[in-house]
Amino acid sequence: MSVLPLVGFIPIQFLREDKVTADQAFSSPDATTELSDRAFSSLEKSGQLRLIKVDAVYTANEAREAVRKCFAANVDMIIYFVPTWIESSVVIAAVQEVKIPYVVWGCSDLNTQSLVGAVEVAASLNNLGEEFRVVYGDPSDKEAVGEIEVRARAARVLHKLRRARIGFIGGIAFGMYDAVQDLVALREKFGTEIVHLDQYRIIDEISRVTDSEIQEAVSRLSKQVGKVDAPSEHLIKSVKVYLGLKKLIAKFNFDAIQVKCHPDLSQIYGACACVGVSSLIDEKIPVACEGNLNTAFTMYILHELTGNPPWAHEIPVVNSKDNTLLLWHCGAGALTLAKDSSEITIQQQYAGPVEKGGVMGGVTFDFWVKPGKATMAALAGMGKNLRMQFSEGEILPPSKMDLGPGKIWVRALIEMPGAETFIKNAVAHQFVTIHGQVARELKELCQMVGISAGQ
């Protein structure tokens, strides 16, 4: 399970300078305070958020001070709760003071006219071109509270992205125009620092790996699987890639990386990055291969939303009759994706050609991914064309389908509504699947950063 979002709750009251009776006012102070308290209490009881409650504010300056307090506490999102009619300028002052994702929440309540105030605020913010989420619902409305929680989870991921460092090691793999990335657009939209390293840096780190490190890693990996069915020299070379990548991650403090495997590692060095990719994902560092930085971003986002290991793969088979897709890749997959470690076999990598005059080397993993509810997604495109495709489905129990000679690898069969349409609309040839259903959060995140999204 991922860390719960930290959310600031700021109730905003209406300030009357002249003296009026409770009957003449839009609402009594007691009624609006009671509504605010109920709203905060409902969020507390849901248990899906960590909350910071700020005392009710009345003026623009108080609102600015309140949002600065929340910013100092490093919140992921702000809730501006509107319990009565207010002047929109109070909220506007806060949202323009500090740029934090936010929600405007109002309730259908005749006693307080909360809804009227919230609609006035939302309309004013829309006129200013603000990006936000407005929620209308009583504090007891689970759907309204759920909308806020979805927004908060997406805001937490954006907060993490804006502070993350992702390593871009090597370049793109040959012929994959759909994997070409736009570093400027990714920085603009997500705020993530991208650090490029040449492919040789991996070899340089490998050259300093000690025999004791190799032996310890080989021993540990062998105990994590049910069977090792590969020559030791191939296993050792693959483990060296893992150790080299791990040292680079530690040296540059990366939160995720992508690595160009083909043909530099897989053929020229003689070992694919599959062991390194798989092991590092199990160590909570999302790793994409084949030079696909967009996939690394997708893996990081899905991991932060669910806390589960992301799996990058291709889709070689679609069955429109039963809405299923076969998923696999050339061997990378976190070992915790297997239902039981005894089902995992380490095999010598499938001896397919990468470039003319050679074949892939190293070892790969062979197992079916465990069943369960899942989300599949891909980030792709350049500049204004940056977009995300995603859909929810269910990974099915292992299939007995014939995969053909030599096709070992990590694999899964997923049932997904509109599977054929999903493939026809594919934005990339490589997708990421994760256990857990987070399509609503992905849609919210895409709205926050201003990129198109859909199935």
How many residues are recorded in the chain?
455
pLDDT in tens, 22-55: 444 455 678 889 999 999 999 999 999 999 999 9
* Residue 247 tokens, joined: 């040292």
**Domain spans in the chain, listed from the N-terminal domain onward:** 6-161, 165-454
Cis peptide before 11 (omega within 30 of 0): no
Instruction: Look up residue 189 and give its two tokens.
Output: 């939209």
Question: What is the three-class DSSP state of 281?
Answer: helix
Average model confidence (pLDDT) across the chain: 92
β-pair type (311-319, 102-106):
unpaired
Q: 3-state DSSP helix/strand/coil percent for the chain, to nearest 5?
A: 40, 25, 35
| pLDDT top residue among 312 and 16 | 312
Q: Which two tokens stand for residue 104?
A: 């405007």
Q: Do 165-454 and 6-161 fall under one CATH topology? A: no
Q: Could you identify the residue written with the tokens 């300030």?
A: 15
How far apart are alpha carbons 218 and 235 in whole angstroms? Answer: 7
Whether residue 334 has pLDDT greater than 90: yes
CATH code of the domain made up of 6-161: 3.40.50.10940
Rg of the Cα atoms in the chain:
25
Question: CA 328, 334, 338 angle in degrees (round to 5)?
Answer: 75
CATH fold of 165-454, please?
L-fucose Isomerase; Chain A, domain 3 (3.20.14)
180: Cβ–Cβ under 8 A, 6 or more apart, which residues?
Answer: 172, 382
By the 8 A CB rule, do 25 and 112 touch?
Answer: no
Q: Is the pLDDT of residue 331 over 90?
A: no
CA angle 298, 301, 306 (to 5 degrees): 125
Tokens, residue 228: 């090792």
Instruction: Name the band, by pLDDT with cuts 50, 70 and 90, for residue 14.
Output: confident
Residues 214-271: pLDDT tens digits? 999 999 999 999 999 999 999 999 999 999 999 999 999 999 999 998 889 999 999 9
